[in-house]
Structure 1
Amino acid sequence: MERVFVGSEAVAAGHLTRHELQRWYHPLYRGVYLAKDTTPTLRDRVTAAWLASGRKGVIAGVAASALHGAEWVDADADIELIAQNTRSQSGLIVRDETLAADAMTKVAGIQVTTPARTAYDLGRHLPRGHAVAHLDALARATPFSTEDVLLLAKHHRGARGLRKLRAALPLVDAGAASPKETWLRLLVIDAGLPVPTTQIPVIERGYWPFAWLDMGWEDYKVSADYDGEQHQKDRPRYVRDHKRQRKLERLGWINIRVIKEDDADDVIRRTRDALRSRGWRP
C-alpha cells in the first residue's frame, strides 16, 4: 500500500479494514489518508491533493514551483489545484480555470503546470513581495521565458490578477538565493535606488572568486548582503564572514550587511549614503 492512499480503495482491495483505517490513519484531505504517526511532507500533501481530485487535477502555484525544484516552499503551504468537480477544503485551494494541454506537464507521474504557467499563476494570485520571491526561486530552479508568461496573459484577457503579474515579472531575478534577498532587493528598488546586480563575483587574485555578493553596484563598489540566522549560529561561517568582510574592505568595497532586526529605513539610509559617497546621484 502506498504511503498516501485513497481510503475507500484500500478497504475495497482488502489491504485493511475500515476499523483499521480509522484507528491507524488520518485524512490529509477528504478520503485520502496517511499514517497517524507520520508527519506529512509537502510531497505527501501534493499527492493527496491529486488523489482527492480523482487523479484528474493539475497541481499549480507554489506547490507546482516546488515540484519544478524551487526552494523555500514550506511543508504546510496550501496546495493549489486546477480541477473541476473538486471542492476546496482546509489546506487545499481548488480553482476551476482554463488550462491548455501545452500548459501541463508531468513530474513523477503527477500532472503539474509547466514552469511558464506556474509563473503566470504565482504572479496573479500572490501579493507582490511573495510573488516575486517565489518567481525568483522558480527562475533559479528552472529558467522560464517571460515572453511565454506574457503570451499566456494575452491568451487569457480578463483573467484576475494580470496587472499584478505584469508588475511582478520585470522584478524577477534568478540570482536571489533566498526570500530575504528578494525582500532586500525590492526594498532598495522601491526606495528609488538603482537596480542592483545579483551574485557579484569578487576576485582578489587568481581566477576563482573568494566571495559572491548577494547584490550590489559594481561601478560604485557598493554591495549589500543579507545575513540569515545561520550566519550567526554557525561559528566557522561567522569567522569566514568576518575575514571575507575585511578582504572586501581592502579591495575598496563598501559591503552593507543586513540582519533581520535591522530597520528598513536605516538599511535604505546606509545604502543611499554609501552610493552617494561613491559618486551616485539620484
Structure 2
Amino acid sequence: MTREQVAARTRTKEWERVARAVLDTGPTGVKRADQGLEIEHRRRRAALLGLLAHPGSVATGLCALVLHGVQGAPAQLTPEVAMPTGAPRARRPPVRLRRSPVDRWVDVGGFRCVDRALVEAVPQVGRRHAAALMDSALHRRLIDAERLDTTSRAAAGRRGMARTREWWPLADGRSESPAETWARLSCVEGGFPPDILQLQVAGPGEQVFARVDLAWRLPDGTALLVEIDGQEVHSAPRALYRDRARQNRLATSRTVVRRFTGTDAWHGRVGPEVATVLRGSGWRPHPLPPDAILHLA
C-alpha cells in the first residue's frame, strides 16, 4: 500500500497509529468498546505492542506473563519490553522500555519473553492480582512450588519486593482461575481456609461426576461445597443446563452448596458467607488429602 492509502485510513479512524511504525488495523475507539472486546484480547494486544514498537526486544513483567498464557493480570496493561543489551533507545509511547539488559529469555509462540517475569510482575500489582498470577503460573506448570520459593527468595532485594514478602506463600496451583484464587483468599483472610480444593464428588456406582472448587468437612459428617462460576464458561445455554443438572446432584442431605460469581470473589463476598456457615457448625480445620473423594451415594 502507498503512504497516502495508509494515511487515509488513519485519518478516517479505520486504522489507529498506536506507536511509531505500528498500526492497529482492527476496530478502534468507541467501536471497540461497543463490540465488547474481550479483556484478554486487550491484554495480549498490549503485550504484543511493545515487541512491535521495538524490534528485537524482549517482553517483560506482566506482558511476558500474558504471552505465556498466565491469568490474573489487571485489565489494563502498559506495554513493556527490554533490549537484550540494555542499550539506550528512544522511547516509543505508550511502551515502557526497561533499561536493564536481558541475558536470558524463552521463546513463546515466536515472541521473546523474560524467564523472570513473575518477580518483575508481582511488585507491579496488588495482592489479589499477584496471588492469581502465581496460582496460574503454578497451575500451568510454568514453574513449580520449589522454584517459586527459591525465585522469590533470590529476588528479595529487588525494588518493590519487600511489600510482597507475605504474598508468595499464598500461591496454590490447584486454583484453576483468578476467581477461585480470590475466593480462597477471602476465606483464608477470615480464618476459614478450605479443607480441600478441587474436591472430587462421586455418585451411585462410585463414579466421579464433579469437582468442587472449595470444600470444608463439617463436624456432623456433611460438607460445605463452594462453586465459583466463571461467566465465560457458564453463560452458554448448553453449559447452563449442564450446570443445573450437576448442581441438583450436588445438593443432598449431606451437603451445603453455595455458588458465587467471579465478581463476588473479587469483592471478598465469599469469605463472610462461608464464615457464617462454618461458625454455626462448629467447624475446625481438617485438611483433606488431594485425592479425597466425597461419596454421595
Q: Distance in 1 between matches of 2:211 and 2:109?
A: 34
The 5 Å alignment of 1:1-282 reads: 16-24=1-9, 25-35=15-25, 43=44, 45-55=46-56, 57-71=57-71, 77-83=77-83, 84=86, 85-86=88-89, 87=91, 89-90=93-94, 92-97=95-100, 99-101=102-104, 104-114=105-115, 117-218=116-217, 221-229=223-231, 233-250=235-252, 252-259=254-261, 260=263, 267-281=270-284
Could you tell me which runs of 5 or more consecutive residues in structure 2 were left unpaired when the two chains were aligned: 10-14, 33-40, 286-297
Q: What number of residue pairs does the alignment pair up?
A: 261
Q: Distance in 2 between matches of 1:231 and 1:26?
A: 32
**In structure 2, what residue type is equivalent to 1:137?**
S
**In structure 2, what residue type is equivalent to 1:187?**
S
Per the alignment, in what secondary structure is the counterpart of residue 172 of structure 2?
coil
**In structure 2, what residue type is equivalent to 1:109?**
G
Distance 1:128 1:109, change over 3 A: same
Distance 1:203 1:120, change over 3 A: same
**In structure 2, what residue type is equivalent to 1:89?**
P
**In structure 2, what residue type is equivalent to 1:110?**
F
Q: Distance in 1 between matches of 2:3 and 2:245?
A: 62
| Contact 1:28 1:34 (C-alpha < 8 Å) held by counterparts | yes
Q: Distance in 2 between matches of 1:96 and 1:88?
A: 14
Q: Distance in 2 between matches of 1:21 and 1:188?
A: 54
User: In the TM superposition, what whole-angstrom CA distance separates every residue of 1:1-57 from its partner, at most 9, and x where no partner exists?
Assistant: xxxxxxxxxxxxxxx4332332335322222223365878655543431132231x2
Shift of 1:64: 1.5
**In structure 2, what residue type is equivalent to 1:70?**
V
Q: Distance in 1 between matches of 2:65 and 2:265?
A: 30
Task: Name 1:9's counterpart in structure 2.
Answer: none
User: In the TM superposition, what whole-angstrom CA distance separates every residue of 1:216-246 from its partner, at most 9, and x where no partner exists?
Assistant: 2246622211234468754444444343333
What TM-score comes out, normalization by structure 2 length?
0.72
Please, which moves more after superposition, 73-82 or 17-26? 73-82
Per the alignment, in what secondary structure is the counterpart of residue 159 of structure 2?
coil
**In structure 2, what residue type is equivalent to 1:213?**
V
| Contact 1:106 1:112 (C-alpha < 8 Å) held by counterparts | yes
Distance 1:37 1:231, change over 3 A: closer
- Flag the structure with more relative contact order, 1 or 2, with Cα contacts below 8 A and sequence separation at least 6: 2
Per the alignment, in what secondary structure is the counterpart of residue 174 of structure 2?
coil
Q: Distance in 2 between matches of 1:161 and 1:263?
A: 24
Distance 1:164 1:255, change over 3 A: farther
CA-based RMSD:
3.4
Please, which moves more after superposition, 161-170 or 143-152? 143-152
User: In the TM superposition, what whole-angstrom CA distance separates every residue of 1:172-222 from its partner, at most 9, and x where no partner exists?
Assistant: 222223222221111111111124522111111345421111112246622
Q: Distance in 2 between matches of 1:265 and 1:219?
A: 22
| Contact 1:214 1:225 (C-alpha < 8 Å) held by counterparts | yes
What TM-score comes out, normalization by structure 1 length?
0.75
Q: Distance in 2 between matches of 1:229 and 1:98?
A: 41
Q: Give percent identity, aligned residues only.
A: 25
Q: Distance in 2 between matches of 1:130 and 1:240?
A: 30
Distance 1:244 1:43, change over 3 A: closer
| Contact 2:71 2:132 (C-alpha < 8 Å) held by counterparts | no
Shift of 1:129: 0.7
Per the alignment, in what secondary structure is the counterpart of residue 165 of structure 2?
helix
